[in-house]
Amino acid sequence: RDSQQAETERLSRWEKWRRTSSKSLKKALSEVKGLSSYLVLWRRDIRSIEGKFGTGIQSYFSFLRFLVLLNFIIFILMFSFVILPTIISTFGLFNSTIAYIPPKNIDDICTIYKPSGNKGLVYFYTYLKDLLSGTGFLEVTSLFYGYYSIDAVWISIMRYNLPLAYLLATFAYLALSFLWIIKRSVEGFKHNLVHDADPFQSYCNKVFAGWDFCITDPNAARLKHRSLQYELQTDLQEEKLKQKIAERRMEEKLRIYSLRIFINIIVIAILSGCFYSIYRVTVFSQENSNDIGNANSQVNLLVQYLPSMVITLANFIAPLIFAFLIKFEEYTPAFEIKLTLLRCVFVRLANIGVLLFSLWSQISDCGSDKCKPCGYNYKLYPCWESDVGQEMYKLMIFDFIVILAVALFADFPRKLLVTHCSCKLVQWFGHKEFEISDNVLEIIYGQTICFIGTFFSPLLPAIATIKYFIIFYVKKIVLIHTRKPAARPIRASSSNFFFLVVLLIGLLLAFVPLGFSIARIPSSKACGPFRNFNTSWEVIPDTILQFPTGLQQFLFGISSEAFAVPFFVILCIIMFYVIALARAHKRVVEQLREQLVLESRDKMFLIRKITEAQK
Amino acid sequence: AYKRFSELLPKEERENACSARVPKSQILTLPELRANPFQQRICHVFSTSETEDDSMSFEDFLDMLSVFSDSATSDIKSYYAFRIFDFDNDGILDRKDLEQLVNCLTGQGEGSRLSSAEMEQLIQNILEESDIDKDGTINLAEFQHVVSRSPDFASSFKIVL
């Protein structure tokens, strides 16, 4: 401080003024930053979790916070472009009117759609059943696609094209999620690249950066000590195991490889079993729940929820089986974990895909001329998008119920048992560890459902936001009261990247069914904004045809092959260039490292010479 | 930060907090340092006291907080981390320093130390990874190089009040 003061004496007045103004500006900026950090959601909660349980678990909670924000923004998007105009026009605010364009060239049979909204005297139980399964009174609300049967909204003199807005809002939220996830994962990717480029850094990283200086609680510190010790010991053992593997003989290798192939076949068999059962159950549930005969019985509710239950059961059992099987495959522990995680991710996401596939096979079931006039099975599914929306809604609600139920009925009693009952069996069972990867896969599964379902049910992101909001507090309470941190801590840097990569896979997987239903399957003629078009995608070519000719030709030119193929080729060239640049940089780094070694050897040589000369 | 520092002083000296020195025992009662296995080293490194009693003035306290804050560059952090890990203050990390470092990490108490074979193997691996000039010790440049490649260093080497 003294030296700084001495310096300022020497400067001219102009410089002094500049210095003081820049200092006060910096102070003001940091104050603003401090204030704005108060606005960050849950800042204090996540900090306290970080202090007590370390950065691995904290990354799970900040991922949860990211999902809440993402869902909220998606909801705002859909709300302002789709729901708000509909509400404005339905209630006639701001001098708005609705324009219904009568359908042309469409058979009248296709437009019959009588959703069974509740009329007359209904039991309270029916309301509950409708709330849980999205039928009845919920089906006619703005929750589902069928409500938005408006073709255009006139606000004073402006014409607002609702179908176009609906489709573009869908594309917008998909693109927004995609870009946001990629932006967040770029940082993690850079770290991962550096980390992968030097796989021999792991010991130094653990020893020099191993202690998390944020820990303030002595209990947490003790656990961190133990986990560090465990981690170092496991790594050393893994190294010895790798040496042993390298020295394996031929017969052993053959035995192990054949065992691995056998186990992989078992895994594939289990997966196909899951998929087939989901398919059959979905078909059964769809056939039976459309039967009006037992519309009010409890069995009907069970039948409606059958696909969700089977999927949740499969998601629960499959990881257990995988964890059991992988022990026989004798991989290194790190690879074991990665492979199990990969298999679990695949099971969860593919289950959703199979459910959707079975739904579509039902909708496009054109066996005996069932879909002649309209292109889809109009008798069973006059408004098929609402049906798909209902399935997604049911999945989401059931997922939420399961998470709450597991927290309430499995974790708290377990803790009570372990702390109060001291018999050997219960103690061996022990406290449940907070398995980060399982929990993350759970919420990514929920988020993929949200991505797919928002097109069919525009209010779904709002439900997802509320669901994740509640889950944050539930998990936090469960964590603080019952569990001990995992003995094998996952590092914060690699886990953030892993979560985002799996979320990205979920999003890309969501593109497939959405693209298929927008572009391939004929849209329902009885409900929804796309009644007058063959498929939902047709809105866009229709709108383009209304543009001035010059613009039309330009847009058609871009989408034609003459443009797309050279564009693709140029992209490939750029990608190869960047990869070659990266490889060249890597080689330069290697060369510099070798030079460093040589330099130090030169130094030692010179020092030896000097000491010799001095003698 | 000033508030926290003055809380550590006994009541009489609070008005003079800018120039008073806080003894080491008081500093170690801070919750952020209480659970830290390197607490002794941190006090020693940041203390500028001439009497070698590791007491810290307010300026030392600020120094410490600024090094551990989010906005310190990784150069500064790695420099101070090196000094903290250098248990015998000789300017390099040799085998004894590394052994003490690992023992700090795995916890005090007999059951939590690594066996000597494991310790040997571990130190061997560390030196293999970071000792570029193969002299059996890690100097500041090698340490900074290793830490710059380490992805977790920035997020773990921080203390927030």
Q: Is residue A224 part of a domain?
A: no
Q: For residue B20, what are its two tokens?
A: 């008073």
Q: Give how far B42 is from chain A: nearest CA, Å.
A: 11
Residues A208 and A174 in one domain: yes
Kindly report which listed range (A171-185, A221-235, B124-138) carries the lowest average pLDDT score.
A221-235
Residue type, A266: I
* Cα distance between residue A361 and residue A350, in whole Å: 16
Residue type, A82: V
More confident residue, B53 or B66: B66
Q: Is residue A606 part of a domain?
A: no
pLDDT in tens, A10-64: 666 777 788 888 888 888 888 877 776 666 777 777 777 776 666 667 788 888 8
Q: Which phi and psi (to 5°) does residue A99 adopt?
A: -110, 120
**Among all residues of chain B, which has the CA nearest to that of A212?**
B156
In this complex, the residue of B36, B122, B150 whose CB is nearest that of residue A208 is B150
In this complex, the residue of B122, B147, B160 whose CB is nearest that of residue A214 is B160
Contacts of A218 in chain B (CB under 8 A): 34-35
More confident residue, A19 or A199: A19
Spell out the residues 6+ positions from residue A373 whose beta carbon is closer than 8 angstroms to its own.
Answer: A107, A109, A110
Mean pLDDT of A274-287: 86
Q: Give how far A473 is from chain B: nearest CA, Å.
A: 24
Q: Is residue A14 part of a domain?
A: no
Sorting pLDDT into bands at 50, 70 and 90, what band is B71? confident
Q: Do A209 and B152 touch (CB under 8 A)?
A: yes
pLDDT in tens, A133-163: 777 677 777 778 777 777 777 777 777 888 8
At residue A330, the 3 state secondary structure works out as: coil
Q: Give how far B106 is from chain A: nearest CA, Å.
A: 5
Is 50 exceeded by the pLDDT of residue A197? no
More confident residue, A2 or A481: A481
- Best of B156, B158, B161 to substitute, by most chain A Cβ atoms within 10 angstroms, is B156
Mean pLDDT of A281-290: 79
Residues A460 and A570 in one domain: no
Is 80 exceeded by the pLDDT of residue A246? no
Provide the number of structural domains found in chain A.
2
Query: Quick one: pLDDT at residue B9?
Result: 62
Q: Which domain holds residue A571?
A: 560-596
* H-assigned helices in A247-383: 250-289, 298-325, 333-363
Spell out the residues 6+ positions from residue A216 whose beta carbon is closer than 8 angstroms to its own.
Answer: A51, A52, B31, B32, B34, B35
Quote the pTM value.
0.72
Query: Quick one: pLDDT at residue A74?
Result: 92
Spatial contact of B35 and A218, defined as CB atoms under 8 Å apart: yes
Residues A520 and A576 in one domain: no
* Cα distance between residue B34 and residue A320, in whole Å: 40
Q: Is residue A607 part of a domain?
A: no
Residues A592 and A521 in one domain: no
More confident residue, A123 or A362: A362
pLDDT in tens, A302-343: 787 888 888 888 888 888 888 888 878 877 766 777 788 888
Query: Quick one: pLDDT at residue A358?
Result: 86
Task: Tell me the β-bridge partners of A153.
Answer: A98, A160
Residues A555 and A566 in one domain: no
Residues A460 and A565 in one domain: no
Mean pLDDT of A459-484: 85
Query: Quick one: pLDDT at residue A81?
Result: 87
Task: Tell me the β-bridge partners of A97.
Answer: A154
- What is the average pLDDT score of chain A? 78
Is the domain spanning B1-68 CATH 1.10.238.10? The answer is: yes
- Best of B133, B142, B159, B160 to substitute, by most chain A Cβ atoms within 10 angstroms, is B133
Task: Tell me the β-bridge partners of A374.
Answer: none
Contacts of B64 in chain A (CB under 8 A): none
Residues A468 and A366 in one domain: yes
In this complex, the residue of B102, B118, B159 whose CB is nearest that of residue A214 is B159
Residues A405 and A426 in one domain: yes
Residues A554 and A580 in one domain: no
Is 80 exceeded by the pLDDT of residue B18? no
Q: Where are the domains of chain B?
A: 1-68, 74-157
pLDDT in tens, A369-409: 666 666 677 677 777 888 888 888 888 988 899 888 888 88
Q: Do A228 and B106 touch (CB under 8 A)?
A: yes
Q: Is residue A220 part of a domain?
A: no
Mean pLDDT of A431-460: 83
Spatial contact of A445 and A348, defined as CB atoms under 8 Å apart: yes
Mean pLDDT of A77-92: 83
Which H or E run contains A594?
helix A561-614
Q: Give how far A195 is from chain B: nearest CA, Å.
A: 7
Q: Which of A60-64, A153-157, A247-251, A569-573 ranks highest by mean pLDDT?
A: A569-573
Q: For residue B33, what are its two tokens?
A: 């340092």
* Cα distance between residue B97 and residue A119, in whole Å: 81
Order the strands of the A152-155 sheet from edge to edge.
A96-99, A152-155, A158-160
Q: Which CATH code of 1.10.238.10, 3.50.50.60, 3.40.50.10330, 3.40.50.1370 fits the domain covering B74-157?
A: 1.10.238.10
**Among all residues of chain B, which has the CA nearest to that of A225?**
B106
Q: Percentage of chain A surpassing pLDDT 70?
A: 79
- Best of A29, A186, A203, A208 to substitute, by most chain B Cβ atoms within 10 angstroms, is A208
Query: Angle A55-78/A460-481 helices, nearest 10 degrees?
Result: 160
How many interface pairs between A and B have CB atoms less than 8 angstroms apart? Answer: 138
* Cα distance between residue A271 and residue A11, in whole Å: 76
Spell out the residues 6+ positions from residue B59 whose beta carbon is closer than 8 angstroms to its own.
Answer: A1, B48
**Among all residues of chain B, which has the CA nearest to that of A214?**
B159
Q: Is residue A91 part of a domain?
A: yes
Residues A357 and A407 in one domain: yes
Contacts of B28 in chain A (CB under 8 A): none
Q: Which of A74-88, A461-475, A512-526, B7-21 ranks highest by mean pLDDT?
A: A461-475
Which H or E run contains B159?
none
**Among all residues of chain B, which has the CA nearest to that of A50?**
B156
**Among all residues of chain B, which has the CA nearest to that of A492?**
B152
**Among all residues of chain A, which has the CA nearest to that of B115?**
A233
Is 70 exceeded by the pLDDT of residue B1? no
Q: Do B34 and A216 touch (CB under 8 A)?
A: yes
Q: Give how far B140 is from chain A: nearest CA, Å.
A: 13
Residues A565 and A515 in one domain: no
Query: Quick one: pLDDT at residue B20?
Result: 65
Kindly report which listed range (A195-199, A205-209, A583-587, B150-154) carries the lowest average pLDDT score.
A195-199
Q: Do A209 and B153 touch (CB under 8 A)?
A: yes
Q: Do B118 and A214 touch (CB under 8 A)?
A: no
Q: Do B81 and A600 touch (CB under 8 A)?
A: no
**Among all residues of chain A, which has the CA nearest to that of B84?**
A208
Mean pLDDT of A171-195: 81
Query: Residue A513 CA to chain centroid, in angstroms?
Result: 16
Mean pLDDT of A555-580: 88
Contacts of B37 in chain A (CB under 8 A): 211, 221, 225
Buried b (16+ CB within 10 A) or exposed e, A6-18: eeeeeeeeeeeee
Q: Give how far A217 is from chain B: nearest CA, Å.
A: 6
Sorting pLDDT into bands at 50, 70 and 90, what band is A569? very high
Q: Do B151 and A597 touch (CB under 8 A)?
A: no
* Cα distance between residue B30 and residue A523, in whole Å: 66
Q: Percentage of chain A surpassing pLDDT 90?
A: 10
Q: Which phi and psi (to 5°) does residue A115 adopt?
A: -70, 140
Query: Quick one: pLDDT at residue A362?
Result: 81
Spatial contact of A113 and A145, defined as CB atoms under 8 Å apart: no
Q: Do B149 and A198 touch (CB under 8 A)?
A: yes
Sorting pLDDT into bands at 50, 70 and 90, what band is B130? confident
Is 60 exceeded by the pLDDT of residue A363? yes
Beta-strand runs (E) in chain B: 21-22, 56-57
Is 80 exceeded by the pLDDT of residue A256? yes
* Cα distance between residue A52 and residue A55, in whole Å: 9
**Among all residues of chain B, which has the CA nearest to that of A190?**
B151
More confident residue, A587 or A206: A587
pLDDT in tens, A508-534: 988 988 888 888 888 877 777 787 777
